[in-house]
Amino acid sequence: MDGDSQTRRSFLSRLAAAAGLAGLAAQGGILVRSCVPNVTYDSPSTVKIGLPESFADGLTFLPAQRLFIVRDSKVFRAVSAVCTHLGCTVHADVQQLTDGPDPGARPHLQVQQFSCPCHGSRYRADGTNISGPAPRPLARYRLALAPDDGQLVVNLTDEVGASFVLTLS
């Protein structure tokens, strides 16, 4: 019986040690898991950015959303200002144009290219990456009109293809 009790005793102590270790591991896991947030307080991803009429033809930069709105008469596009390499805000190299000979026309900004200050990536005016480490074109986001007040609404989580535009009737 001595051998048996030895076996039982060593089995039980091993079991106890394993249970203790499992408990420690579980609680360690709990501590780590608690650091991964369930709720974040990041800025909202769907935002109203203003009435379509408030945007001049050409380019408008919205710093809070890090977003460019490109307007061509009734056609609107939303192009991200976040570099696809490491997330710095790209600069738009622009040229100021006035429409035709009419001196009263509102001046508007025409993009030559976008360039990133962090690692020198460059994008064409349509957002296609042309040089530097950027792996992808600048993101395009879905634009819509708010049904309640007619403002433009951009959804910063809904990436759309290069062909997507919002055309107003």
Partner 1 sequence: MTRRRFWSLRPASTGEATDAILANLLLHWFPARMRLTSIAWTPSFWLGTVTWVLFVLLLLSGLPLMVFYVPSTREAYQSIKDIEHVVSFGWWIRAAHRIAAHLMVIVVSLHLVRVFLTGAYKNAGQREQHREWNWVIGVAMLVGTLLLSFTGYLLPWDQLAFWAVTVSMNIVSSTLLVGPAIRDALIGGREIGQTALMRFYLLHIVVVPIAMAVLFAYHMWRVRKDGGLARGDAPQDAAEVVVAIPAVARRVTVVALLTWLVVTVLALVIPSPLEEAANALVTPNPAKAPWYFLWLQEIVADTTVRIGSVAVNGAFIGGVVLPMALLVLLTLWPWLDRSPAATVGATLPRERRTQVLVFIAIAAIVIVLTGVGLLRGPSWQFYWPWQPWANVPTRF
CB of residue 143 to partner 1, shortest distance in Å = 21
CB of residue 162 to partner 1, shortest distance in Å = 14
- Neighbouring residues of 169: CB distance < 8 A, sequence distance ≥ 6: 74
Of 1 and 31, nearer to partner 1 (C-beta) is 31
> Reduced to 3 states, what is the DSSP secondary structure of residue 18?
helix
Which residues here bind partner 1, judged by CB under 8 A? Answer: 32, 35-37, 40-43, 61, 63-64, 66, 84-89, 91-92, 115-120, 132-136
CB of residue 44 to partner 1, shortest distance in Å = 12
Residue 114 gets which letter from DSSP? E
Q: How far is CA 92 from CA 72, 79, 117, 127, 147, in A?
A: 17, 11, 11, 10, 31
Of 68 and 76, nearer to partner 1 (C-beta) is 68
* 33 φ/ψ angles, rounded to the nearest 5 degrees: -60, -35
CB of residue 26 to partner 1, shortest distance in Å = 18
